[in-house]
Structure 1
Amino acid sequence: MSGSYEEQFLCSICLEVFSEPVTTPCGHNFCKSCISQHWDTSRSCSCPLCNEVFTIRPKLKKNTLLSEVVSKSKREVELWSKKVSKPVDVECDVCSEPKLKAVKSCLVCLSSFCESHLQPHLTVSGLKRHQLMEPVDDLEDRMCPRHQRPLELFCNTDQSCVCTRCVLLEHKNHQYESLEEACERRWSSLQKTVAQSQDMVEQRRLKVQEIRAALDQSQTEADQETQQMVKVFSDIMESVQRCLDHHLEVIKQTQTKHKECAEALIQQLQQEMCELEKSSTEAQQLSLSTDPLHFLQHCTALPPAGLKDWSSVSFEPQTCEGSVVRALSELETSLSQEFNKVFTQLPKIDQLRRVQQFAVDVTLDPDTAQPHLVLAENLKQVHHTNAKKKLPDSPQRFDQCPGVLGKPSFSSGRLYFEVQVKGKTKWDLGVAQESVNRTGTITCSPKNGFWTMWLRNRDTYKASADPSVLLSLKRPPQKVGVFVDYGAGLVSFYDVDSADLIYSFTDCSFRGKIRPLFCPCTNDGGTNSAPLVITKVQTDRL
């Protein structure tokens, strides 16, 4: 028992049973006094077992579980030792000083006897019937307090030691066994308890390591994200500052030109005012002349020639009205370009995670489904059949194109959804204006209000641009993600499994509400019978 006990509950510093066990950040256990003294006398604060160095001395916390296990094990070991260990140096109760060593104890006399004082029990007929045993010093504890008989059996029903009289009376029909058998069974159970407790300690130590490793990884990723975020927002703030400086400079230059124009007009007016005042003075002087010849010769020069007609000239105050609106509009465009620039520089998994945060719960709209289409009860799947359902005519419903719109509709913000296309040979997928034409033959293109990508002939992928764009994919996508940024006029398609960006429509001119569009295409005799499935967005597997 002691060997197994010591192996599992020894402090690696003092090599003694744990006393006030504490756990270090690396998950190892030591006596509180041992590890504290070790750190007090060491230059660095490190673990004596794994040598992990701690930059700051950790605050030690009591290992409650290990402490309870050690305490419980100590008590059980002491109890077991008390019951099964052979007593040593039990003194004879009859001898006077000096007392000799007892060789037997009598459960009837409740005394221990040396070899000479034991002789009556071996020779006297009445004493021969007494029950003798190896010498022990706790004879009274070994007697039944009710019947004053030796405790020789263990009652499994009541989990207590009993005498033969107890078995016949108070413990009748109970299950019992010898003390030796009960002790062996309890000893085996104790060993299992110790082993299980140590396993639990080890499991928790490993869990601590797992959590700390995850925390370290989280901190590393947080630091990286912080650096990246600081850079991105610094670039954005610089872009905003540049936009502000530009528009302030435009206002300043405009006002400067306006001021120069006003000053030129004022200068011209002042010059003409001077000429007119001079002419007026000359006219007053001339009016005082008494010489007819002199008056007639100089009167023809008045008023001065070349004066401008100012009645048609106006100078309106320069207004900056609308400058803020124009500035914000240009800033929005600039920031959108900056966002897209930053976005394209991110790792592709980060790009997909970024758009997945705008996931919305999209369902199919039965009122828009073409009559050959079959929708699942949860409105998450659609496939084409040859049987045409009898449905009332409605301008909301596609009558020829095997398509169906999704819900809800959007007129602002960002949205993202994913669609499984596995097993299909052709399909169309994307978004459309809510106001698109749904009757007759339909050509999907942005000018008609459709922003889609499609598959034909199992391996031909195109984007429905003007004109359509042939797409070169590394592998056929099994699940397609659709992202829309309404304000930025952006529609992007992703291969969800590889996180690759397939294609993006930019500078889209959305008019009013837009809605998701699903077209499973005709089933082609069963070769294209697999459904389009709107799936739940899962980011934890990337």
Structure 2
Amino acid sequence: MSAASCCLLTEDQFLCSICLDVFTNPVTIPCGHNFCKNCITEHWNSNVQCQCPICERFYNTRPELQVNTFISEVAAQFRQSAQQKASSSSSEQQAAKPVEVPCDVCTGTKLKALKSCLVCLASYCETHLEPHLTLSGLKRHQLIGPVKNLEGRMCTTHNKLLELFCKTDQMYACTLCTILDHKTHDVVPLKEEYESKKAELGKTEADVQEMIQKRQRKIWEITQSVELRQRDADREIVDGVQVFTALKESVERSQAEFIKTIKEEQRKTEKQAEDFIKVLEQEISELKKTRSEVEQLLHSEDHLQLLQSFSSLNVAPPTKDWTEVSVRPPSCEETVVRVVAQLEETITELLRKLFEAQLKKVHQYAVDVTLDPDIAHPRPAQSNDRDDHQFSDCRCVLSKQGFS
């Protein structure tokens, strides 16, 4: 038979329904169904009665098995064609990396598995997964994303698939476990517990997202506070400059001290804000990491993996309550009062020295122009009284202007 004729037949016509592989020494039993000779023999050896695995027809006596040469030849040609196709496909697919799940059927170079079957307990690459996607009997099998150690999904006691969850003992169980060991316990299907935990993860994701948003809003509030404080500081500097500019050299020194103090306080405020933001960003990073882990579990189709990972998931990393935290800029009133008080002392001292210098000048002038010292003495005394009165008037003016 030509290769073109083989292509006219469907692929499942060449597969044994017991081993799910291309026929080897195919035989036809009386009901008309075909199997590998070894497969049907072992099947009948393991059962009391001889029964067709497909149509379930019983035979009182075991039929004599003869190899169907026609099907054998066709199957051989199809096997050759399938191997060539698999070889061509494998050249396009990449071999499984050490961290990836390899195909359990591939011989030689193990290709990357696309799915794992919980019924067959095997993982399949794209080529060997085809029967599970096309054969009606295999379509009912449960496929999940590729996972390693499928044997770990079997009950070690009864060698059956772990498909139930005991809420009482918080452990996985097979159907026999529920009858023997968990008879009166609260047992649910693994999928039901999976959906329950997935719902919890959904709520956790929402809570984590809300925590992230709160911290992002807090960062915005702190940033706005810093910017507002910067504008206030600029205005205070401008106002201070306007006050101190009029005070000449002594006022300029006070002005420099005032600006320096304001900027130092501003730097402290910015440093405090930077520390808060750094901690917030670190918490956001940890929360995003947690959200990423939660998202990965939410997208997982693997019931057991999700349940196993759920208990060890760090759902709520240590975070700080930021509700009452804010950047409170220090008041500059004390700084202004202190600088103005120093300025008043400086101005007072300068005025006193100025008046003392003036008094000395007046007294010297009176002595020089008066020949009689007895007459000259009262004049500086009178001048001193008048100058003291003028000094008091100066202080009153300063007090009215807000420097007292």
Q: TM-score range by the shorter chain?
A: 0.3 to 0.5
Name the structure where strand makes up a greater proportion of residues.
Answer: 1
TM-score (norm 1): 0.28
Bigger helix fraction:
2
